Chains A and B, each alone.
Chain A
């Protein structure tokens, strides 16, 4: 069965303190791995899509990487506005059309 596990569940960082969020997955053939950001009371906002091992994508202070078993979301010199829940989702070759399997998310808090 396809599974997605995110760690840690919660992370508190001081402003400027870099760190990484982990998303490990078990799927029957990866079609794509998606990172979303979710602010309280809002819908998930798309950040990145990664398709194959070794791929990397960057956006401002965020960098997403992908291996055959996991993905990392690296946050460099975070600011308080980066505080949010970060969701990881995978789409597998064996899944219902287009279905995304979501992890439970990592709640990131960045304090000044």
Chain B
């Protein structure tokens, strides 16, 4: 039981390049989330999904897109990376949305030059 895994662990992009971050969970959770963590700030929600085929915007969605084609996977895409998107990205999942613990992956460190 691996829990929540994220790929890749680290990536360097040039401004304007695109990439996709992959999150996978093997706990059969319905809900999945993408957060970003920046120095001096709390984790902030980018997008989330309440089930296969559904996605919704969080607090800071601009510049990102997501897809949830399979229940166990949640993809975060950057179509045209900007230096402001340099951050550490965490994926999380939970069984339900209310009062349920969210379990986090190990993170993807992204540097945009």
Contact = CB atoms under 8 A, between A and B. Distances in A.
A31 B96 CA distance: 13
Interface stretch (B13-21, B65-73, B99-107): B99-107
Main secondary structure of the interface of B (DSSP, over half): loop
B43 A87 contact: yes
B84 interface: no
B111 to A, nearest CB: 14
Contacts, number: 69
B50 to A, nearest CB: 6
Contacts of B1: none
A96 B55 CA distance: 13
Interface footprint category on B: 20 to 34
Given A97-B48, A98-B96, A104-B42, 17 more contacts: A36-B104, A41-B107, A42-B107, A43-B4, A43-B90, A43-B105, A43-B106, A46-B102, A87-B43, A91-B98, A96-B45, A97-B31, A97-B50, A97-B98, A98-B33, A98-B48, A102-B42
Interface of B: 4, 31, 33, 40-45, 48, 50, 56, 58-59, 90, 94, 96-107
